[in-house]
Structure 1
Amino acid sequence: MQLYNLKDASEEVSFSQAVKQGLGRKQGLFFPKSLPKLSDIDGLLAMPFQKRSVNIMSALIGDELGHDTVEMLVNNAFQFTAPLAHVTENIYSLELFHGPTLAFKDFGARFLAQCLSHLTPADEAITILTATSGDTGAAVAQAFHGLANINVVVLYPKGMVSPLQEKQFSTLGDNIYSVEIDAAFDDCQAMVKDAFDDQEIREDLHLNSANSINIARLLAQVCYYFEAVAQLPVDKRKEAVFSVPSGNFGNLAAAMIAKTMGLPIKRFVAATNSNDTVPRYLLSGLWEPKKTVSTMSNAMDISSPNNWPRIEAMFEAGYLDKSILTAETVDEDYTHMGVRQLNSLGYQSEPHAAVAYKALKRSLTDDEVGIFLGTAHPAKFKETVENILGVPVALPKELAEIANKDVLSARMPADFAQLKAYMFEKLA
């Protein structure tokens, strides 16, 4: 698999190098030079999830790692299901919260962890630096916790991550270091980029990232779109519309890669909260990020989505026509309404899925079948959901076990010099 840097096309790397390097020159994202078109989609959809995912990832990565290695990586990473829940007549929820941290990011984070563990020599230590607006930190921390020769530093915005989300990554200790930043997520993300531009950190600490900027995380997410369509009735597959709750836009980029590979998806809805840079861009053609707004769907509180250049690259390469993508902004009132409406249908959900549900409802036609992504278990947003519905939300054991643990985070302003000093103190 050959990939190129979207900001400097002269930089070309293998899959292994892209995984280990994270970002390219000029903070550019890596993207495949070509995307494979799969044959016999029906046969692929008839396979079990893990076997199908091995075939998908093997097609994407090529023969660089070998089929047996890809099979090992996939089987070690994907040890949980992604069921399609029938919510109402023509609407389904793809439940991506059955992994260890109860969020969709378990798929990508665990596959990335397996890849880096496989690719890292025993005598070399690497540092994962990642920013989180919610679920990334938990998924990455849990995926890498205890792995030899890999340290993880998680940056997160003060007061913008739910208490249970924070507990999932800030109570582990060992090789996991969490840092609360007194700023917004975009500032945390900017500090990650600054670290990659700092030669001393990059080289001395063997820096890498586990955000969706890393190609391994992104490609792993392709697999669950195939799993969603596989669970639809055969006669409904060609009318499938996916509504994707979008923050950094990695999830939507993965969905579009799946369609490029041949998965029968009719169209996509990019569902955002009040941080609506992309919906405004699709209407006006002007890229004008505003100051990040704090919302109850906090994992989507991102004004400068990192993965949008990959979506643009697919449009520019002619893989997909822009007409297959629309975008909807769902404000706080409509998010409240979405949680309540889903509950009235007998489906308890949380704000991110509610944003996707409301966006889907606005555009779905009678002859289409809609799938919105359930990206997190409602218990991860226990206080919010309870306040909206007025009923208790039970904690699954994964959250009950950490609810009373102490937060171990360091705290600092959005000051890169302080972050650099902290990282060398802890990791050098």
Structure 2
Amino acid sequence: MELVNLKDASDVVSFSQAVKRGLGKHQGLYFPTAIPKLANIDTLLEKPFVERSIEVLHALIGDELGDGVLNEIVEQAFDFPAPVEKVTDKVYSLELFHGPTLAFKDFGGRFMAQCLSRISQGKPVTILTATSGDTGAAVAHAFHGIDNINVVILFPKGKISPLQEKLFSTLGDNIHTVAIESDFDACQSMVKQAFDDPEVREGLHLNSANSINISRLMAQVCYYFEAVSQIPEEDRDELVFSVPSGNFGNLTAGMIAKAMGLPIKRFIAATNLNDTVPRYLKTGEWAPKATVATISNAMDVSQPNNWPRIEALIERGYLDKACLRGESVDEQYTQMAMRQLAQSGYTSEPHAAIAYRAVSHDLQEQEKGVFLGTAHPAKFRETVENVLGQPISLPKALADVAGEDSLAVDVAADYEALKAHMFSLLKDK
């Protein structure tokens, strides 16, 4: 697999190099120089999830990882299901929260960890990542206990749910968590500064596990194929995927799947009040506003990192811009959607509810919709219980950490303070 830096066309790398580097020169994102078109999609959709995923990823990555290695990686990473549930006559939910940290990011986090542990060949690596909620837990659990890899996770203090925080801030060992006294965009900006700082980048052998890392994105492509495989054949002709969108990695993966030939008619980028992309799609003006805190906190992102990849898919002719529209859902309609889903017998959290609201509001008569359930409702227990007025039980993964103390360290939203903290943690590791 060959990838090019979207900010520097001279920076062309292999899959392994892109996984190790995370970001390219000038903070550029890596993007495939060519996206393969798969033949015989119907036959592919009949295969089991893991077997099909190996074929999809082999088409993207090629033989670079060596005989049998990709098979091993996928088998170890994707060892939990991604079921599709019918919610109404016209709308399905793709449930991506059946992994160890109850969120869709388990797919990308575990795939990246398996790739990097082999690619690094025992050499020291520091994973630096920012999280608006679910990335932290997925990355922490995926890399926990891998000898040569240390993980530093930045998150906005007080702006993610307590149970989300407990899932990644209680592990210890090679997992280091930092509560930044600001918002997610500030955390993300500090990650970028670190990658631009040679002293940190080289001295700590820096890598990122955000959705900017191409390995996470490749993994996410696979569950779009899994979703379509579970939809009745008579409903596949007019499929609309509604994707709850914050940093836009999930939507990018879906659009890559469509570019590969997966029969998806179109996409809805469903956001909360942080509506940079829906406004841009309507007006053509990229005008981020200050990030607004919402009950769908994992989507509280006003400058999504993955958007340049979506632009590249369109500009390079893989997809028509008409296959994407944006929909912003406010707090009132988010809660209304949660209640509507509950009345249909389906319990959901705010992020999925936004995607449900967007797709049910937008579907044409002949279309069927799929919204992505990106996290287990119990990860947002307080919000879900307040909105629905009824208690929900905690799954074991959350019950086990609910009473544990957070090991996170508070750091000001100051890059030099973060740099000093990281060197104090990791200089001898």
Please indicate, yes or no, whether the TM-score normalized by the shorter chain is above 0.5.
yes
Cα distance, 1:67 vs structure 2: 4.8
> 2:298 corresponds to which residue?
299
Paired AA for residue 59 in structure 2: A
Deviation track 1:282-303 (CA, whole Å, cap 9, x = no partner) reads 1111111100000000000000
> 1:416 corresponds to which residue?
415
Paired AA for residue 80 in structure 2: F
Deviation track 1:115-157 (CA, whole Å, cap 9, x = no partner) reads 00011122x2100000000000000001000011000000000
Paired AA for residue 182 in structure 1: E
CA RMSD, aligned part only?
0.6
> 2:132 corresponds to which residue?
133
Paired AA for residue 253 in structure 1: T
What SS does structure 1 have at the residue aligned with 2:68? helix
> 1:72 corresponds to which residue?
72
> 1:394 corresponds to which residue?
393
> 1:39 corresponds to which residue?
39
Paired AA for residue 32 in structure 1: P
Taking the aligned partners of 1:265 and 1:64, their CA distance within structure 2 comes to 29
Taking the aligned partners of 2:361 and 2:200, their CA distance within structure 1 comes to 47
8 A contact 1:91–1:370 mirrored in 2: yes
> 1:260 corresponds to which residue?
259
Deviation track 1:16-62 (CA, whole Å, cap 9, x = no partner) reads 00000000000000000000010110110000000000000000001
Taking the aligned partners of 2:295 and 2:137, their CA distance within structure 1 comes to 18
Cα distance, 1:66 vs structure 2: 2.9
> 1:22 corresponds to which residue?
22
What SS does structure 1 have at the residue aligned with 2:269? strand
Q: Residues 217-232 of structure 1 correspond to what in structure 2 (within 5 A)?
A: 217-232=216-231
Taking the aligned partners of 2:323 and 2:276, their CA distance within structure 1 comes to 18
Paired AA for residue 313 in structure 1: A
> 1:8 corresponds to which residue?
8
Taking the aligned partners of 1:235 and 1:403, their CA distance within structure 2 comes to 44
> 1:52 corresponds to which residue?
52
> 1:276 corresponds to which residue?
275
Identical counterparts, % of pairs: 67
> 2:345 corresponds to which residue?
346
Paired AA for residue 300 in structure 1: M
Taking the aligned partners of 2:116 and 2:42, their CA distance within structure 1 comes to 32
Taking the aligned partners of 1:92 and 1:235, their CA distance within structure 2 comes to 14
> 1:177 corresponds to which residue?
176
Matched, 1:358 2:348: no
What SS does structure 1 have at the residue aligned with 2:222? helix
Taking the aligned partners of 1:147 and 1:13, their CA distance within structure 2 comes to 25
Taking the aligned partners of 1:160 and 1:372, their CA distance within structure 2 comes to 25
Taking the aligned partners of 1:120 and 1:261, their CA distance within structure 2 comes to 29
> 2:374 corresponds to which residue?
375
Paired AA for residue 352 in structure 1: H
Taking the aligned partners of 2:121 and 2:348, their CA distance within structure 1 comes to 42
> 1:145 corresponds to which residue?
144
Taking the aligned partners of 1:57 and 1:318, their CA distance within structure 2 comes to 21
Taking the aligned partners of 1:146 and 1:66, their CA distance within structure 2 comes to 25
What SS does structure 2 have at the residue aligned with 1:326? strand
**Unpaired segments of 5 or more residues in structure 1?**
none
- Aligned pair count? 427
Deviation track 1:72-128 (CA, whole Å, cap 9, x = no partner) reads 110110000000000010100000000000000000000000000011122x21000
What SS does structure 1 have at the residue aligned with 2:237? helix
Paired AA for residue 323 in structure 2: I
Taking the aligned partners of 2:334 and 2:424, their CA distance within structure 1 comes to 43
What SS does structure 1 have at the residue aligned with 2:314? helix
Taking the aligned partners of 2:213 and 2:413, their CA distance within structure 1 comes to 23
**Unpaired segments of 5 or more residues in structure 2?**
none
Deviation track 1:219-267 (CA, whole Å, cap 9, x = no partner) reads 1000000000000111211211000000000000000000000000000
What SS does structure 1 have at the residue aligned with 2:153? strand
What SS does structure 1 have at the residue aligned with 2:308? helix
Taking the aligned partners of 1:82 and 1:183, their CA distance within structure 2 comes to 34
8 A contact 1:129–1:152 mirrored in 2: yes
8 A contact 1:82–1:227 mirrored in 2: yes
Q: TM-score, normalised by structure 2?
A: 0.99
Taking the aligned partners of 1:337 and 1:58, their CA distance within structure 2 comes to 42
> 2:166 corresponds to which residue?
167
What SS does structure 2 have at the residue aligned with 1:238? coil
Paired AA for residue 369 in structure 2: G
Q: Residues 60-209 of structure 1 correspond to what in structure 2 (within 5 A)?
A: 60-122=60-122, 124-209=123-208
Paired AA for residue 344 in structure 2: L
Taking the aligned partners of 2:121 and 2:106, their CA distance within structure 1 comes to 24
Paired AA for residue 144 in structure 1: F
Paired AA for residue 210 in structure 1: A
Taking the aligned partners of 1:321 and 1:366, their CA distance within structure 2 comes to 22
Taking the aligned partners of 2:337 and 2:361, their CA distance within structure 1 comes to 12
Greater CA drift, 99-108 or 229-238? 229-238
8 A contact 1:58–1:67 mirrored in 2: no
Taking the aligned partners of 1:86 and 1:254, their CA distance within structure 2 comes to 23
Give runs of ≥4 in structure 1 deviating > 3 Å: none
Matched, 1:384 2:383: yes
Q: TM-score, normalised by structure 1?
A: 0.99
Cα distance, 1:68 vs structure 2: 1.1
Deviation track 1:170-212 (CA, whole Å, cap 9, x = no partner) reads 0000000000001010000000000000001100110000000
